[in-house]
Amino acid sequence: MKRLIFSVMSFCLLGISVFAGDVSVFKEIGFSKDGNTYIFGTYGKTDKKFIPYAEIYTVDVAQNAFLPGKVFKLKDTSCNKTSKELYEELAAKKYSEIKQFECYEPLPEHVLYIMDDESKKSTDEIVFKSFEESDYTYSVKLHTVNYGGKSSFYIDVKVFDNLGQQTMAFQAGNPQIKRANVTNYRIVKISTSKDRKSIVFVVEKTVEDETGVSIRYMVETKKLDKPIDAEQ
């Protein structure tokens, strides 16, 4: 049953932005075997000239930052390839560098949340239980800060047991990073590593400028001292 729910929810995630003007595709490669690294890819077309591009990012979970020399990008200025073909080419070229991390995609029991209600505002509190049968309830709230043409955000997380007692609270994201032309952020997926000590938030961001409206993806990561659903 959990696998069926996960499949349906994944389909919803893929379909949330089908009708937007220029939407990138998010590709989850996953956490490394030790949970210290998270890798994801994205592909689409540039805003102005619609040039296909593909990118793969390697993230240090504890630092919530890209590993030096482990961000890979490719563009096809001739426009002879689709962006998906370009991504497959990039993944093949960097296969050995990615393989060393022994990444795995999150299983249904590692997925805490997938957005399934587009009507919710991006800053509304999200309250849920994970897909895994669990006595824990999660409260997640994204806060945005606008600076006139630039914006930033951070995420507050609280975890409660079945008695309503708070067992954990932490913040993810870096509100000091100000991004130009980003008008909205929205959490679309939250997953954990196998040991449930590493957390990744997949964030959809809306970019608005003179070329129109585009959807791009980014992640925020957090390394915890204990599993997110551990007893106090």
pLDDT over threshold 50, residue 219: yes
Asked if 43 and 85 count as a contact pair (C-beta separation under 8 A), the reply is no
The whole-number pLDDT of residue 67 equals: 97
Pairing of strands 111-114, 126-128: unpaired
pLDDT over threshold 80, residue 228: yes
The whole-number pLDDT of residue 133 equals: 63
pLDDT digit string, tens, across residues 18-65: 333 478 999 999 999 999 999 999 999 886 678 899 999 999 999 999
The whole-number pLDDT of residue 131 equals: 64
The whole-number pLDDT of residue 231 equals: 64
Give the position of tokens 């964030």.
203
Range 98-134 burial, b when 16+ CB lie within 10 A, else e: beebebeebebbbbbbbbeeeeeebeeebeeebbbee
Minimum mean pLDDT range among 70-74, 110-114, 168-172: 110-114
The encoded tokens of residue 8 equal 């349906």
- Per-residue pLDDT band for 137 (boundaries 50, 70, 90) equals very high
pLDDT over threshold 60, residue 168: yes
Give the position of tokens 């630092």.
63
| 190/112 Cα distance (integer angstroms) | 5
Pairing of strands 212-223, 22-23: parallel
Mean pLDDT of 59-77: 96
Asked if 40 and 24 count as a contact pair (C-beta separation under 8 A), the reply is no
pLDDT digit string, tens, across residues 106-132: 888 899 999 987 778 888 999 998 766
